[in-house]
Structure 1
């Protein structure tokens, strides 16, 4: 899959990682809310026609990269994010 452009929003207590999806009016997103010093990854969505192309993984990777750059921990709550943390033991240091 080609690189995608991810927009990061941080409204203090909540935020998201989003990308437009070609051919869809709705983009893909990973949303989070703050709990203490951690960000709780609570929801991931990719439009049905774009699933299986690695878009959701790229959103999770953007959150991982952001956590490494900005020093926060991630509490995976969304089942997809939990599964990715389980598949990537190298992220264990970021798990809240």
Structure 2
């Protein structure tokens, strides 16, 4: 499985098959907002959503940005994993 971080989305692919995607927006020069995470029916239960979050957290760290997870799935992942606290946007 390949995880690709692009300008407005993170995509999980197996060959040409899209297993899942996460969309985000730049709120400003300080933080990103995750607004959607989706996984295909064929990929449910394979941890694709978690892998999307991990890849995006690494991207945010590399860019020295914070993350505001508004998507229910991403928000739950941030609440479960204290290792993401360094990139969590606090308003």
TM class by shorter-chain length?
Answer: 0.7 to 0.9
Q: CA RMSD in A?
A: 1.7
TM-score normalized with structure 1 length? 0.83
Counterpart Cα distance in 1 of 2:12 and 2:3: 5
Unaligned runs of at least 5 residues, structure 1 = none
More strand by share: 2
> Does residue 1:60 correspond to 2:53, yes or no?
yes
After TM superposition, what 4+ stretches of structure 1 lie above 6 angstroms from structure 2? none
- 1:52 match: secondary structure: coil
Unaligned runs of at least 5 residues, structure 2 = none
**How many residue pairs are counted as aligned between the two chains?**
88
Match of 1:31 among 5, 17, 23: 23
